[in-house]
């Protein structure tokens, strides 16, 4: 329980802080003037002498009242904090205390020292001691000879790779990455339709190897995944090799160190790999979406372990994907797409946008099957060297999508069952029609990758629209 501070002026100090020693006479002056002054001391119960300090060497009051610097001076009214100032500033102390002429012999300003309650050697232990009561997850007690890594494997809580044991300290540290309450329900997770609280998401984010600053992205991705439009249950249950692809836009990409350049869809970047992995672990451990049970993919794909990457907005000739999808530039978002593995499009010779667009269209025709139309979405990840061809010619994102749409108007005579000696295909009544490969909005365009070759990538999708999955974009909030 958070200790209640007495009304009046409350100071937090420690003997080891020179500024605290400097302001001790000021605190004595305030008390002598008739003001109610209470001093909490972090390291020496006798400091400051003559002020009857409250012993806070346990750091309980400092931790609960989020003291980051000493000295900190608070004004408490009716049991609630009304004002705060840190360090020594004559002007700010006089304003907060309602007193004039404080510390006339002191410098006008003097910075404080770090509070012991935020000392790196103490912060995790303090969080467990005073904050673990906020956690509701069941605690697992291991036998003395039981290996914690193997214990998580044995209980079926991993994705086949080792996970980080979610200790109380690690989960509490993860929760510092969001302002949302630990008991707030983020989403109802299929297939078991189990509620996932912020705490449960944090537990799985720890297991995935995330840092606290990754947590808001994981939460936004889970919110998008658990919508009717994305249809996570269907994505799990389909025998196709698809899983949630997380595309990140906005300032958060750089803030958490995501890689949008060389090897963007590969290994090596902690943020992208752990965010995608955390989403999959939540679906597995909270929602019950385990391979061989509800997850019935015939082959699966590496993307079902983790598939998360950012768009290279700074190097792109176009506005970001998030802007195209209706969000203001500068907003951080995730876009979820039910995608399979990637396939590379190689075109080393095209130097005009018309020629390159034809290459991309021909490659896109093969998504799922060259004779399928209007049934599957796709993401086209345009590499920088390919994007430069379009950018130098002045082609906008809309122009390229329009050209690809025109090139992917397919004659029904080539698509119907039996055409080309292939039994697969559309019903016979499409023979005389012209059919678009993708439904309106079914082709997403993303700019990402390194300047290492004239390549782009295609991520094919699952069945689109009703009964299938639609791309979903959500804003990332703290």
66 torsion bin: left (phi>0), alpha (psi -120 to 50), beta (else): left
Question: DSSP assignment, residue 132?
Answer: G
Calpha distance 26→327 (Å, rounded): 52
450 neighbors 268 (Cβ within 8 angstroms):
no
Residues 38, 183 within the same domain: no
Phi, psi torsion values for 163, nearest 5 degrees? -120, 160
For 281, the token pair is 């672990």
Domain containing 331: what range? 168-475
Distance CA 378, CA 205 (A): 28
Residue 217 and residue 79 share a domain: no
Roughly how many angstroms between the first and final C-alpha of the chain, as a whole number?
A: 25
CA pair distance 152, 415, nearest whole angstrom: 49
Within-domain flag for 128: no
Strand partners, 445: 380
Q: How far is CA 379 from CA 173, 204, 269, 447, in A?
A: 35, 28, 21, 10
Whether 284 and 384 map to the same domain: the answer is: yes
One domain for residues 95 and 215: no
Residue 125: inside a domain? no
pLDDT score for 467? 87
Distance of CA 203 to the CA centre of its chain: 14
Is 137 part of a structural domain of the chain?
Answer: no
Flag whether 109 is in a domain: yes
117, 67 in Cβ contact below 8 A?
Answer: yes
Quick one: 97 and 216 in the same domain? no
Strand residue runs (E) in 267-351: 308-310, 333-346
CA distances from 51 to 27, 79, 90, 97, 301 (A): 8, 21, 20, 17, 67
Q: Residue 377 falls within a domain, yes or no?
A: yes
R_g of the chain computed on alpha carbons = 29
The 3-state DSSP class for residue 108 equals: coil
- 3-state class of 250 per DSSP? coil
Residues with Cβ < 8 Å from 144, sequence gap 6 or more? Answer: none
Contacts of 344 (CB under 8 A, 6+ apart): 455, 456, 457
CA angle 167, 168, 173 (to 5 degrees): 100
Element (H, E) at 405: helix 397-407
Give CA–CA dist 324/328, Å, rounded. 9
Domain final position from 119, 152, 186:
119
Residue 1, in any domain of the structure: no
Question: Does residue 334 sit within a domain?
Answer: yes
Residues 215 and 335 in one domain: yes
Contact by Cβ (8 Å): 212, 173: yes
Question: 289 and 190 in contact (C-beta within 8 Å)?
Answer: yes
Query: What's the pTM value of the predicted model, to 2 decimals?
Result: 0.92
Pair 214, 101 in one domain = no
Domain CATH code at residue 37? 3.40.30.10
**Number of domains composing the chain:** 2
271 and 339 share a domain?
Answer: yes
Do 426 and 435 touch, CB atoms closer than 8 A?
A: yes
Pair 108, 173 in one domain: no
Q: Identify the pLDDT of residue 63.
A: 97
How many whole angstroms separate alpha carbon 394 and alpha carbon 404? 16
Strand-pair category, 409-411 with 376-382? unpaired
> Of 78, 101, 119, which residue constitutes the final position of a domain?
119
Q: Is residue 202 part of a domain?
A: yes
Q: Among residues 97, 119, 141, which one ends one of the domains?
A: 119
Judge contact between 182 and 199, C-beta under 8 A.
yes
Q: Pick from 477, 478, 439, 476: which is nearest to 461 by CA?
A: 439
Cβ–Cβ under 8 Å, residues 321 and 445: yes
Q: What is the pLDDT of residue 466?
A: 83
Q: Give the pLDDT means over successive 10-residue stretches in the chain (478 positions).
A: 94 98 98 97 97 98 98 98 98 98 97 98 96 91 93 96 97 97 98 98 98 98 98 96 98 98 97 98 97 93 96 98 97 98 97 98 98 97 98 98 98 98 97 98 97 95 92 98
> Rounded distance, CA 273 to CA 267, Å?
7
* Helical (H) or strand (E) element with 38: strand 37-41
In the prediction, which pLDDT does 465 show? 83
Do 376 and 294 have their domain in common? yes
* Same-domain status, 108 and 192: no
Distance of CA 261 to the CA centre of its chain: 19
Same domain, 360 and 463: yes
């Amino acid at each position: 329980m958070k200790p209640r501070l007495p009304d009046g002026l409350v100071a937090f100090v420690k003997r080891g802080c020179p500024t605290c020693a400097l302001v001790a006479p000021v605190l004595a002056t305030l008390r002598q003037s008739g003001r109610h002054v209470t001093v909490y001391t972090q390291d020496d119960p006798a400091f400051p002498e003559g002020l009857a300090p409250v012993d806070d060497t346990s750091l309980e009051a400092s931790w609960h009242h989020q003291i980051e610097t000493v000295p900190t001076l608070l004004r408490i009214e009716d049991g609630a904090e009304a004002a705060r100032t840190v360090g020594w500033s004559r002007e700010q102390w006089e304003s907060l205390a309602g007193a004039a002429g404080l510390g006339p012999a002191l410098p006008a300003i003097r910075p404080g020292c770090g509070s012991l309650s935020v000392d790196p050697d103490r912060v995790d232990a303090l969080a467990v001691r005073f904050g673990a009561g906020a956690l509701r997850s069941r605690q697992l007690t291991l036998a003395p000879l039981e290996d914690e890594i193997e214990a998580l494997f044995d209980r079926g809580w991993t994705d086949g790779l080792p996970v980080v044991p979610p200790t109380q300290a690690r989960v509490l540290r993860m929760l510092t990455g969001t302002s949302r309450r630990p008991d707030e329900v983020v989403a109802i997770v299929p297939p078991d339709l189990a509620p996932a609280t912020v705490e449960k998401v944090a537990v799985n984010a720890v297991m995935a190897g995330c840092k606290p600053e990754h947590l808001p992205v994981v939460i936004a991705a889970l919110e998008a995944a658990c919508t009717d439009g994305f249809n996570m249950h269907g994505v799990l249950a389909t025998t196709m090799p698809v899983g949630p692809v997380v595309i990140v836009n906005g300032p958060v990409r750089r803030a958490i160190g995501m890689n949008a350049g060389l090897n963007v869809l590969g290994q090596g970047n902690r943020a992208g790999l752990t965010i995608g992995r955390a989403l999959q672990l939540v679906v597995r451990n909270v929602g019950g979406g385990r391979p061989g049970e509800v997850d019935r993919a015939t082959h699966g794909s590496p993307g079902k372990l983790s598939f998360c990457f950012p768009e290279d907005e700074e190097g792109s000739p176009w506005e970001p994907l998030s802007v195209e999808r209706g969000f203001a530039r500068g907003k951080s978002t995730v876009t979820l797409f039910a995608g399979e593995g990637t396939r590379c499009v190689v075109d080393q010779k095209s130097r005009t946008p018309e020629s390159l667009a034809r290459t991309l269209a021909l490659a896109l025709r093969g998504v799922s099957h060259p004779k399928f139309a209007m049934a599957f979405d796709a993401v086209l990840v345009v590499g920088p060297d390919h994007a430069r061809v379009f950018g130098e010619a002045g082609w906008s994102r809309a122009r390229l999508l329009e050209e690809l749409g025109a090139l992917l108007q397919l004659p029904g005579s080539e698509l119907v069952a039996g055409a080309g000696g292939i039994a697969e295909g559309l019903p016979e009544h499409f023979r005389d029609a012209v059919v678009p490969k993708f439904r309106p909005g079914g082709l997403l365009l993303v700019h990402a990758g390194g300047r290492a070759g004239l390549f782009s990538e295609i991520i094919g999708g699952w069945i689109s629209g009703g009964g299938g999955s639609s791309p979903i974009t959500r804003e990332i909030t703290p």
